[in-house]
Amino acid sequence: MAMDPVPLAVALGPLALYMLYLAGINLLRRPVLVSGAMNSAAVALSVSGFVVVGPMGLLLPEGAVNVFGAWVWLLMLGFYGLSVTLCILLSRPRLVIFNLSAEQLRPVLAEVVAKLDSEVRWAGDSLMLPHLGLQFHLEPYSPMRSLSLVSIGDRQSFAGWQRLEKDLRVALRQTEVSPNPRGFSFLTCGLLLLSWPIYLTIKDGTAVAQALREMFRM
């Protein structure tokens, strides 16, 4: 049975772009810091194609299609975006640092927090900055050579997290690292995921156009 290229392209396209994004980050010669909100949004976008093809396609309300036509997809995507935004707002503050190990981060982080708060206290992988209203711990993920600074407790200062993010990003710009070899794996996966639906689309453009009309009720 031949694969339908349109659902395949919709499902794999965003994931392929996310893989290429990760490849670009890991092949740099410097670490990259992003906020937890931005990282969660990127992950949500990477799986959005599967959400469209899966739950949205299966649960598409026919009554709404009859009234709004193809515009119903805009409403459903808006609902997905609002749901992701709500989850991000309810999640604990954190910072994600790619292409850097915990051992490489410690001296940089120690210098930054010492400037931000003279009463900073360390307890293993946990830190407390009382003047900034921050308390967090280091959560490394060695296979990806990345780590997160994850907040501890509910009493956190949003302004404090913004200042920590700003100062730490500036400090990391001075840090040079070797490219992460896993970046080539992400690059390969991203290109393969993009090439398959593109090949199917080029192979039979008429069938793609028809499937696109049927899928989006156009």
Same-domain pairing of 127 and 171: yes
Q: In terms of domains, do 164 and 108 share one?
A: yes
Q: What is the pLDDT of residue 172?
A: 93
* 173 and 185 fall within a common domain: no
**Is residue 107 domain-shared with residue 207, that is, in the same domain?**
no
Strands 126-129, 94-98: pairing kind: unpaired
- List the chain pLDDT tens, one digit each, 218 residues: 445 677 778 888 899 999 999 999 999 999 999 999 999 999 999 999 899 888 877 777 666 666 666 677 888 889 999 999 999 998 889 999 999 988 899 999 999 999 998 899 998 889 999 988 999 999 998 778 899 999 998 788 889 999 999 999 999 988 889 888 899 999 999 999 988 777 777 776 676 666 666 666 65
Question: Which residues, in sequence order, are bridge partners of residue 150?
Answer: 94, 137
Query: What is the domain count for the chain?
Result: 2
Q: What is the CATH number of the domain that holds 129?
A: 3.30.310
Q: Which of 36, 33, 159 is nearest to 89 (CA)?
A: 36
Please indicate, yes or no, whether residues 85 and 68 belong to a single structural domain of this protein: yes
Q: Which structure tokens are listed for 114?
A: 């010492």
Are 104 and 171 part of one and the same domain?
yes
Residue ranges making up the domain that contains 218? 1-91+179-218
Q: What is the pLDDT of residue 1?
A: 42
Q: Are residues 102 and 75 in the same domain?
A: no
| Reported pTM | 0.84
